[in-house]
Chain A
Amino acid sequence: MQRVLIANRGEIAVRVARACHEVGLAAVAVYSEADRGASHTLAADAAIPIGGAPARESYLNIEALLAAARAGGADAVHPGYGFLAESAAFARAVEAAGLVWIGPPPAAIATMGDKLAARAAVEVAGVPCVPGTELAPGDARAATRHASRLGYPVLVKAAAGGGGKGMRTVGSEAELAEALAAAGREAEAAFGDGRVYLEKLLVRPRHVEVQVLGDRHGTLVHLGERECSIQRRHQKIIEETPSPAVTPRVRTELVGAALAAARAVGYVNAGTVEFLLDADGRFYFLEMNTRVQVEHPITELVTGVDIVAAQLGIAAGRPLGFTQADVVPRGHAIEARLYAEDPAASFFPSAGPILALREPAGPGIRVDSGVSAGSVVPLEYDPLLGKISAWGADRASAAARLGAALRETAVLGPTTNLAFLQDVLAHPAFLRGETHTGFLAEHFPAWRERADDALAAALVAAVAASRPLATAGDTPAAAPTPWETLGPWRLGR
């Protein structure tokens, strides 16, 4: 294994390119027409165009990706997350082309990728599952019957799903038909598979997941849990490790169940077993994500294990090189996902050029960014700009550090959730660790951005407006204003 094709874009493609370089591998990026010159293409040793802006023509186009691997001289493929990362067909095609697949065996992807097969596989291994049932397509009467047997509220989910796509909460029978139709449409569009199933909706559960890593030599370890309860549209925006709700006793059972689920499908490489945890410490298997997770940095911060580098080593056939006893988590880490979206308008995605960007820095701060000033956030993809994570000796100091880091961050151009993230982190219920998957709906039902520093901002705007607008031909400082030519400034006090 010498040269890795990264079949992805954005911050995860940058992350994988960094890991490749750190372990002495070359990285080949791919890009669609919407991503020419994007950050991830600049992080690699070569960048190859793979097609049009719609993901189907590029990042979901298996033929184009394999052709890019050939053209770029790659001998391995890292899929990142999203797009084809959980496509068994892609994994098989990569292997059939004689390339190394940096991920789990295709059979494990296939089993875990089908929600129903996954439930069956892990139930046999003794892992508890949420009560639920498959739906025959178009049989509205059966759906109604199953839903009332489970008891409302119920959740409609895509059988092939993930990332909240094709998922709908249904509070009563009146909402069921529309939810089934919408979930089916979204699932068909996102996964090419419109099958859906029904699940009992647990009340105020926490989303808790366990990171596992397995090599081809029989070593399988866990790297502890992450709690990802702060979600909008069923997608996580703030994650932390350890979970404030997981006691040592629950942790022992939880990681045991995660390892059992992984073993049940012969899992190799990095994966995450997701659970819902109720107020009484009971947990239920949700799904297994057979790929690197968006939120992997926080586990890296507390364990010191480089999960992406481990993925590369495992794929190359090397032993993991450490055992469970070597994994000793330290402190607390929290990640905030910076999205181009408007939290004041149902988190609707925002797009367009990034005019200016400032990233935070300082002790315990980690930034995984996929954009830079001048880059364009395309309409076609998930609007994740990057992730800001903070490590602290305990939960309170990690939260304080992350809050300060977000306050230092600036993005001009698309609307982002930056201010919203700060308000969530500062919320008393968050600080008390009282998180659950309905947290945002409960505490932030109609969030509006506060204008705390409107006076100072208006004065900044006025000073900025005193200078003529720059044009493409300007060189910096070509247009001094009276404020700059008035004579010596007194700096300091």
Chain B
Amino acid sequence: MSTELHLRLGSRVLQVGTAPDENGIAATVDGSAHHVRVLARSGSAPVAGASVEELALEVDGRPHRALVARLRDRVLVALAGRVYAFETGEAATTSGDRGGRSGTVVAPMPGKVVAVMVALGDTVEAGQPVIVLEAMKMETTLVAEVPGRVTALGALAGTTVDAGAVLVTIAPPA
């Protein structure tokens, strides 16, 4: 009946184990022991593809009230005015810091490319503006995270791009 779960929060991976005991749940987080009691729990309902519920529980005697939304590979927890977006499944166990600098400039959300400020073959500095993207009537300037040479351009000015689209690829200097 005990379960093991890997939860990635940013660059951190938490290993959570749970097993029922006579008073609730005996839990471990990264090896340290904690006690959890579920005080109240709403029925889980589907909302826009997520499984949503409200949970009240005690952790080591302290009460918490949370809203939880579960998606296929993510669990979102709203607790005490903050949101914790945990990645679960295979994504969570991959080690390494995802906050690392990348040679690709990616559209953070769908929008319209207003300006492409570099050309193929250009040498760019880290922090140099490369793309102006417009979404929700706001312009945002995307910058190169690494210095290097522009080896690919994924969008033309005036085109609409999806979130995650690779707009500029930069090869670091050899």
Contacts and interface: CB of A to CB of B under 8 A. Distances in A.
Contacts of A379: 109-111, 135-136
16 contacts: A190-B137, A348-B135, A348-B138, A353-B49, A355-B76, A381-B137, A412-B68, A419-B82, A452-B82, A458-B86, A459-B27, A463-B38, A478-B43, A482-B1, A484-B38, A489-B38
A381 B139 contact: no
Contact of A489 (B37, B43, B54): B37
B51 A469 contact: yes
B133 to A, nearest CB: 9
Interface of A: 165, 182, 185-186, 189-190, 233, 342, 345-346, 348-351, 353, 355-356, 358, 373-374, 376, 379-383, 406-413, 415-416, 418-419, 422, 449-467, 469-472, 474-479, 482-484, 486, 489-491, 493
Nearest to A458: B14
Contacts of B7: 458, 461-462
Contacts of B51: 467, 469-470
B69 A476 contact: no
A490 B3 CA distance: 23
Contacts of B37: 489-490
Nearest to A403: B81
A186 B112 CA distance: 13
Contact of B77 (A190, A457, A474): A457
A479 B62 CA distance: 27
> How large, as a class, is the contact surface on chain B?
35 or more
Nearest to B44: A470
A342 to B, nearest CB: 8
B3 A466 contact: yes
B82 A464 contact: no
A356 B52 contact: yes
Nearest to B41: A484
A381 B136 contact: yes
Contact of B69 (A380, A412, A457): A412
A450 B108 contact: no
Contacts of A459: 16, 18, 27, 29, 34, 36, 57, 59
A383 B54 CA distance: 25
Contacts of A491: 39
Contacts of B82: 418-419, 449-453
Interface in B1-31: 1, 3, 5, 7, 9-10, 12, 14, 16, 18, 20, 23-25, 27, 29
Given A185-B114, A379-B136, A463-B57, 18 more contacts: A189-B137, A351-B109, A355-B48, A380-B136, A408-B81, A412-B67, A412-B83, A413-B69, A453-B84, A455-B34, A458-B86, A459-B29, A462-B16, A463-B18, A464-B77, A466-B3, A478-B43, A483-B41
Nearest to A462: B16
B46 A470 contact: yes
Contact of B78 (A358, A450, A479): A358
B69 A460 contact: no
Given A185-B114, A379-B109, A419-B82, A464 B75 contact: yes
B104 interface: no
A188 to B, nearest CB: 11
A417 to B, nearest CB: 11
Nearest to B35: A459
Given A408-B81, A453-B82, A478-B43, A458 B29 contact: yes
A464 B5 contact: no
A355 B47 contact: yes
